[in-house]
A = this chain, B = another copy of it.
Amino acid sequence: MGILSGTDLTAQEPMEGKQSSKFAQQLAQTQKDFEKILASELSVPLPKDMAGGFSHEQHKRNWIYLQTGANLYTLTGEAKYANFVKNLLFAYTDLYPGLGLHPSRKSYAPGKLFWQCLNDANWLLFASEAYGNIRASLSMQEQEQIEQKLIKPMADFLSIENPRFFSRIHNHSTWACAAVGMAGLAMDDSSLVSKALYGLKHTQSFEGQEDNDGGLVKTRKEEGFLAQLDFAFSPDGFFSEGPYYHRYAIYPYLIFAKELNRKKPELQILAYRDSILKRAIFSLLNQTDANGLVFPINDAQKGMSWNSRGMIAAVNIGYAYMGKSPVLLEIASKQDKVMLTEAGRIIAKDLQKSNGKRQLRPSISFRDGWDGSKGGLTILRAASTPDQELCMVLKYSSHGGGHGHFDRLSYSLYDEQGEVFQDYGAARWVNIDQKGGGRYLPENKSFSKHTIAHNTVIVNRTSQNNGKIGKAEDVAPYVYHARENKEDYDLVSVVDSLSYKGVKLHRTVIMLKDPVFPKPLLVDLFRGSSGAKADWELPFWYMGQMIKCSPPLHQEDKLQALGKSYGYQHIWLEAMSNVSVANNHFSWMANKRIYTMYSWNPEGDKWFMGRLGANDSNFNLRRDPVLIQSKEDKKEVLFINCIEAHGSYDYASEIPASPYGMIEGIEKNYDSKKYLCITIMHKSGRSWRIIQANENPSEEQNHKLEIDSRTYTWKGPYHIITKSKNANKDE
């Protein structure tokens, strides 16, 4: 991998030739917008409010003004911008030295400007970057005032005075290290840079303490920015907390790394740990849907996208300094903005030459855990045409710290328009003061984190690991088999024996690619076994409105919540069905696309139609629907489901295309401890027989099995036999 060394534009260097259109337009617009800021009075209020409140939002606005002003100075050389940045920093030198801790005291690590150190670290990172960009324009006296009254004390406050905040392996500490490091680079203070890179070497222990999200404040002996690079990511660049926090954390990683690359090239930071930052960028960008929305895994507010600051930085800096990937260029063409820096200028220039060809993203798996040993995440993707995509995201990673959900073996499903089966994400309205001050709402714990909020099996109506983080952090499922980017089918199969005591869960998801399907057929086999009889439920949080459910539904006159705890207390039982035949289906329309799920059900199965909203008089939860498949009082269970993306609807012509699915039925042909065999029949006469060796994942193992007086022999854990219409022999 070729890492280019990056140099930043400075006011002294002239702009290179003709500016790129996107960059130039944005620069011109920013200059125009910034005139209003230049003309208005500075506002540096006494810290008082929580997120969403005035003082909080004003200090946030100020860090943007600092960054923008300094960038405009770098790009234009006009003194008015440098003066503005200087004056704003001066205003803070009046305020900061007299500040005690923020009055709210609601954080495990209270800040001074903000209620939590995290926001103070955000502020310091931007302010230091801005200060570094204008420093050369200041007198020595001015420099000293800003450095000694503001930057240095703030860097000390966020590091040596707050080790519990600074020394974790956690996004909070990434911001802290990067902010302190940027402060050090801006001031040429090598002691601060060293603290940022290598940590405080303190000896305090925070064992057993929790942060505000329920995450543990434990530290390990390694600390500092390099330790973050070593331990916050898996070898594949996967970030345990999930892509929503990944896009938040990536920004300080990249800003500090880019500056280190420029000022301390001998560190070779971009190549560090087999180019872990480049891996982190690609891992993050892979965890988005066709429209750039971040998969809302763990605590995540939906709507976050590659238009966020962190992901624009990831694309711009990744492109400019880590090999000019056409995938990044294509994403840049869809992003609203470029950075107003050298990296932004570089990618914007290449955008003008790009052919705009769509870069199809392949199926891909990421290991989790710093050493790759803690499960992971698999994305199966298939696109028949650039605007026809199916994407399945199976999660089997480690818990994800305080932001983790009890969601192992759950998957979400996407098409080119968005969610088909959703992950609920977090119960939080970020920065909306009216909703609990913009923080996590009580329903995040009472619903969103629970297993029932995810598309995976719940045993006995309790969450995985009883909803306890400590226990969940220590264990992770393992991959039974994976097969990616093949012509006939992609597959991921995962086993979890640790989330429920005495229970083994084994889920296999197959993306069956066949010319009869416009998009692949998703086959979902979920086996469960338990030493004792148990109740098993598998929810599907489908998006959109039900069209047809083949088993007849019954609705009561009065709605009740499904249960009393583990998230069930928030779900109304809207309707139910005692499933009486083996083959059943459920069709729904999601955003103009028509889907059918086909199920094979043994006698006694029940289907529940649930609706969110019980025990929620504040309307904190969305009123989303769920189909729950239930099997009661069983030691061994098998959920067989196929999801066909077959139809679409045009509202202007009012014409549906393929409103009916084409699956004729599903047969269960064989089901033992060792083997499972099912057959899926297509209305055209075509069929697919799928055989799974349940207990031996070896790819070298030969198998032999007789089913319906026919003998099958094959090698490896899976065997799929396609049979054509009227054909006596298999394909």
Chain A residues at the B interface, C-beta cutoff of 8 Å: 52, 60, 301-305, 307-309, 336, 429-435, 545-549, 553-555, 557-561, 572, 574-575, 587, 609, 611, 613-619, 622-623, 625, 649, 651-656, 659-660
Q: Is the CB of B654 within 8 A of A301?
A: yes
> Contacting A434 at CB < 8 Å: which of B560, B613, B659?
B659
Q: Is the CB of A432 within 8 A of B547?
A: yes
A611: nearest residue on chain B (CB-CB)?
Answer: B623
Given contacts A434-B547, A557-B560, 5 further A-B contacts (CB under 8 A): A434-B659, A434-B660, A546-B619, A557-B561, A559-B572
Q: Is the CB of B575 within 8 A of A431?
A: no
Q: Is the CB of A656 within 8 A of B431?
A: yes
Q: Is the CB of A615 within 8 A of B429?
A: no
A614 to chain B, nearest CB (A): 8
A618: nearest residue on chain B (CB-CB)?
Answer: B553
A606 to chain B, nearest CB (A): 15
Q: Is the CB of B653 within 8 A of A435?
A: no
Chain B residues near A336 (CB-CB < 8 A): 652
A241 to chain B, nearest CB (A): 16
Q: Is the CB of A619 within 8 A of B659?
A: no
Q: Is the CB of A554 within 8 A of B305?
A: no
Q: Cα distance A550–B337 when bound, in Å?
A: 39
Q: Cα distance A613–B435 when bound, in Å?
A: 26
Q: Cα distance A475–B125 when bound, in Å?
A: 69
- Most B C-beta atoms less than 10 A away, residue of A547, A575, A649: A547
Q: Cα distance A609–B617 when bound, in Å?
A: 10
Q: Cα distance A653–B311 when bound, in Å?
A: 11
> Contacting A622 at CB < 8 Å: which of B545, B558, B611?
B545
Q: Cα distance A587–B618 when bound, in Å?
A: 12
> Contacting A654 at CB < 8 Å: which of B430, B549, B559, B560?
B430
Q: Is the CB of B553 within 8 A of A309?
A: no
Can you name 5 A-B residue pairings with CB atoms under 8 Å?
Answer: A60-B655, A545-B622, A559-B572, A575-B619, A623-B623
> Contacting A308 at CB < 8 Å: which of B548, B617, B653?
B653
Q: Cα distance A107–B656 when bound, in Å?
A: 22
Chain B residues near A547 (CB-CB < 8 A): 429, 432, 434-435
Q: Cα distance A614–B572 when bound, in Å?
A: 12
Q: Is the CB of B611 within 8 A of A652?
A: no
Chain B residues near A615 (CB-CB < 8 A): 555
Q: Which 4 residue pairs of A and B lie closest in terms of their CB atoms, listed nearest first?
A: A303-B651, A307-B652, A559-B559, A555-B617
Chain B residues near A557 (CB-CB < 8 A): 560-561
With A546-B619, A574-B613 known as contacts, the answer to whether A659 contacts B304 (CB < 8 A) is no
With A559-B572, A617-B554 known as contacts, the answer to whether A432 contacts B649 (CB < 8 A) is yes
A445 to chain B, nearest CB (A): 19
A601 to chain B, nearest CB (A): 19
Q: Cα distance A574–B615 when bound, in Å?
A: 10
> Contacting A653 at CB < 8 Å: which of B309, B558, B574, B618?
B309
Q: Cα distance A271–B583 when bound, in Å?
A: 62
A546: nearest residue on chain B (CB-CB)?
Answer: B619
Chain B residues near A623 (CB-CB < 8 A): 611, 623, 625
A441 to chain B, nearest CB (A): 12
Q: Cα distance A5–B559 when bound, in Å?
A: 64
Q: Is the CB of B431 within 8 A of A555?
A: no
Q: Cα distance A328–B248 when bound, in Å?
A: 46
Chain B residues near A652 (CB-CB < 8 A): 303-305, 307-309, 336
Chain B residues near A303 (CB-CB < 8 A): 651-652
Q: Cα distance A574–B614 when bound, in Å?
A: 9
Q: Is the CB of B553 within 8 A of A655?
A: no
Q: Is the CB of A587 within 8 A of B305?
A: no
A417 to chain B, nearest CB (A): 14
- Most B C-beta atoms less than 10 A away, residue of A301, A309, A614, A659: A659
Chain B residues near A60 (CB-CB < 8 A): 655
A339 to chain B, nearest CB (A): 14
- Most B C-beta atoms less than 10 A away, residue of A307, A429, A549: A429
Q: Cα distance A557–B611 when bound, in Å?
A: 14
Q: Is the CB of A617 within 8 A of B659?
A: no
Q: Is the CB of B431 within 8 A of A655?
A: yes
Q: Is the CB of A548 within 8 A of B616?
A: no
A635 to chain B, nearest CB (A): 33
> Contacting A52 at CB < 8 Å: which of B305, B653, B659?
B659
A617 to chain B, nearest CB (A): 4
Q: Cα distance A653–B651 when bound, in Å?
A: 32
Q: Is the CB of A617 within 8 A of B575?
A: yes
A570 to chain B, nearest CB (A): 11
Q: Is the CB of B611 within 8 A of A613?
A: yes
Chain B residues near A575 (CB-CB < 8 A): 617, 619
- Most B C-beta atoms less than 10 A away, residue of A432, A557, A660: A432
Q: Cα distance A574–B302 when bound, in Å?
A: 25
Q: Cα distance A546–B613 when bound, in Å?
A: 12
Chain B residues near A622 (CB-CB < 8 A): 545
